[in-house]
Structure 1
Amino acid sequence: MSQALVRTAAGWLLGLMLAVAAGVVAINVVNNSIASPQQPVREYFDALQKGEGEKALGLLHATVPQSSAAMLDGTALQTAAARISGVKYGDAEDRGGNRVMVPVEYTIDGSALRTEFLLEKSGTEWLFFHRWAIVPAALPVLDVTVVNENEATLNGVPVNMPNGRNSFAVFYPGEYEASLAGEYFSAPSTKATLSGREVPAAPLNLMTEATDGLKDAVGSKVKEFLDTCADAADKEQRLQPDCPFYHTTNNRVMDGTIDWSITEYPTVSIEPFGGRWVMAPLNGKAQIKAKQEDLFTGAVTQLNAVHDFSFTARLDIDADTVKVTPLLSY
């Protein structure tokens, strides 16, 4: 009986030792996987790519600086994280004081980047499993400016730009792209890649330009003004009409023969100045044809002259209309 008891006890002891060993292994496996320092970082990246800003903010334990929150959720956030690929989570590196650093390597648009996350042990669960949390810090801010506009598009989302500028709190890593594509004014898109809080992103500056559509519309109105002016000069038979062009001569020009035409229309150039849009001087050429009589000899000859002219105009634009007001000096 004693030998049987010994064998039974030995069996139980071996089973207990194996169970303890298995438990230790299981604890280590859990602490190196779902309870590892990498796990909050994995969950954070997952939240970024799903556009779950509230969850990402909670995992990052970040404070939001005074700025626009337009980039912190939904489409804007998903777009920022959409080009992150090839994510690799490195081994945790001890930083002392129950803190570790988890490096993450990835690419954005083919560029290899690295972000380091500082985490601290925040306790245990079920006595054995570690609990880790990303050390709190403030979110970085991305500055955006746009010339002579009060709105723009950032990561596909329309954003307000009071007085042509705004600041946006952003998550990292991510890519942020600003653009402006209006009917009358547009700007080439510009991008900034943010890999960490410690490395501020370069400001995004949108250099607004008049669209070809606006230039064509203004050019059409300038052409209409000049053609109307030339027609009125013909009807009134005037050498010096109320137009940007005129002709002077010592000869007598015969009534009924004066014929004005525009041979070269101005090229329209629209530039920002002093918070509004102004037109560069409008330069062109006008031709006059007529019959003229020399007052000394009485000889009649054909007048055919081309004159350079230049004038300015005021440009007024609202949501639906373009108005061009010629400014002539006589």
Structure 2
Amino acid sequence: MSQALVRTAAGWLLGLMLVVAAGVVAINIVNNSVAGPQQPVREYFDALQKGEGEKALGLLRASVPQSNAAMLDGTALQTAAAGISDVRYGDAEDRGGNQVMVPVDYTIDGSEQRTEFLLEKSGTEWLFFHKWSFVPAALPVVDVTVVNANEATLNGVPVNMPNGRNSFAVFYPGEYEASLAGEYFSAPPTKATLSGRDVPAAPLSLMTEATDGLKDAVGSKVKEFLDTCADTADKQQKLQPDCPFYHATNNRVVDGTIDWSIQEYPTVSIEPFGGRWVVAPLNGKAQIKAQQVDLFTGAVTELNAVHDFSFTTRLDIDAENVKVTPLLSY
């Protein structure tokens, strides 16, 4: 009986040892996978790609600097992370003081990138499983400027640009693209990739230009002004009308024969200057036809002359109207 009990006890002891060993192995597996330091990083990337800014901010334990928060949630955040692919989580590297660094390699629009995340052991769960958290830090900021505009689009979201500039708190990694596509003013898209908190993103500068729509609108008003000016000069039979063009002569021009017309309309160029949009000097050609009498001989001849002219304007634009005011000097 004693030998049977010994064998039974030995069997139970061996089984217990196997259970304990299996438990240790299981704990190590869990601590190196589900409860490993890579797990919070995986959850963080998942939150970024789903546009869940509140969750991402909570996981990252990051503070938000004094800045615009338009990029921290929803469509803007999803767009920032949309180009991230082929994500590879590396092994944690010890940094001492219960801290580890988890490297993540990935591509953004085909470009290889790497981000290193610093995490710290913040406790245990169920006595055995490690709990890891990001080491708190402030979010980075992307600066955006736009020439002569108070609005822009950043990652597909309209944003205000007071005095043509603003700063946006952003998550990383991500890609941020600014653009301006208005009816009267536009700017080609410009983008920057942010791979880490300590790697500042290049400022996004939008070089605004007048659209063809604005140039056409200004050109139409300039043409209307010149045509009206020429018609009024015909009605008033003036050689020197209140227009950018005139004709000077020592001959007497026969009243009722004066006929002004515009032979070449100005090409419109609109540029930023001193915080405003200005129209470059407008240059064109006007033609006058008439009959003239030589005061010395009395001979009547046909007058047919083309004169270059130039004038400036003041351009005023609001949400609905384009106003062009000719500035003439006499």
Please indicate, yes or no, whether the TM-score normalized by the shorter chain is above 0.5: yes
Give the match's secondary structure for 2:15: helix
Q: TM-score, normalised by structure 1?
A: 0.98
Cα deviation, residue 280, structure 1: 0.7
Show CA shifts across 1:262-320 (max 9, x none).
Answer: 01101111111122111111110001111112222222222111100000111111111
Distance in 1 separating the partners of 2:79 and 2:61: 22
1:7: Cα distance to partner?
2.0
**1:70-81 matches, cutoff 5 A:** 70-81=70-81
Moved more, 306-315 or 122-131: 122-131
Partner of 1:225: 225
Q: How far apart, CA to CA, are the structure 2 residues paired with 1:69 and 1:238?
A: 63
Q: Deviations over 1:147-181 (max 9, x none)?
A: 11111111111111111111111000000111111
Residues 119-162 of structure 1, C-alpha deviation per residue, up to 9 Å, x if partnerless? 11111112211111111111001111111111111111111111
Q: Match for residue 314 of structure 2?
A: 314
Secondary structure at the aligned position of 2:232 is classed as helix
Task: List aligned pairs for 1:1-330, cutoff 5 A.
Answer: 1-330=1-330
Taking the aligned partners of 2:66 and 2:221, their CA distance within structure 1 comes to 46
Identity of aligned residues (%): 89
Q: Which segments of structure 1 move beyond 3 Å, counting only runs of 4 or more?
A: none
Report Cα offsets for 1:71-97 as digits up to 9, x if no partner. Answer: 111111111001100000001111111
Q: Could you tell me how far apart the structure 1 residues matched to 2:203 and 2:127 are? A: 48
Summarize deviations over 1:23-81 as a string: whole Å, max 9, x none: 01100110011110101100110110111111111111111111111111111111100
Alpha-carbon distance in structure 2 between the residues aligned to 1:270 and 1:201:
31
Separation in 2, partners of 1:224, 1:63: 58
Structure 2: which amino acid aligns with 1:185?
F
1:193-233 Cα distance to aligned partner (Å, 9 max, x none): 10001110111111111111111011000000000000111
- Distance in 2, matches of 1:236 and 1:151, equals 47
The 2-side partners of 1:315 and 1:117 are apart by: 52
Unmatched tracts of structure 1, length 5 or more: none
Question: Equivalents in 1 of 2:79, 2:22: separation in Å?
Answer: 44
Give secondary structure in 2 for the equivalent of 1:263. Answer: strand
For the aligned residues, what is the CA RMSD? 0.9
CA distance in 2, matches of 1:83, 1:91: 24
Partner Cα separation in structure 1 for residue 134 and residue 235 of structure 2: 82
Q: CA deviation at 1:2?
A: 2.0
Distance in 2 of aligned mates of 1:128 and 1:323: 74
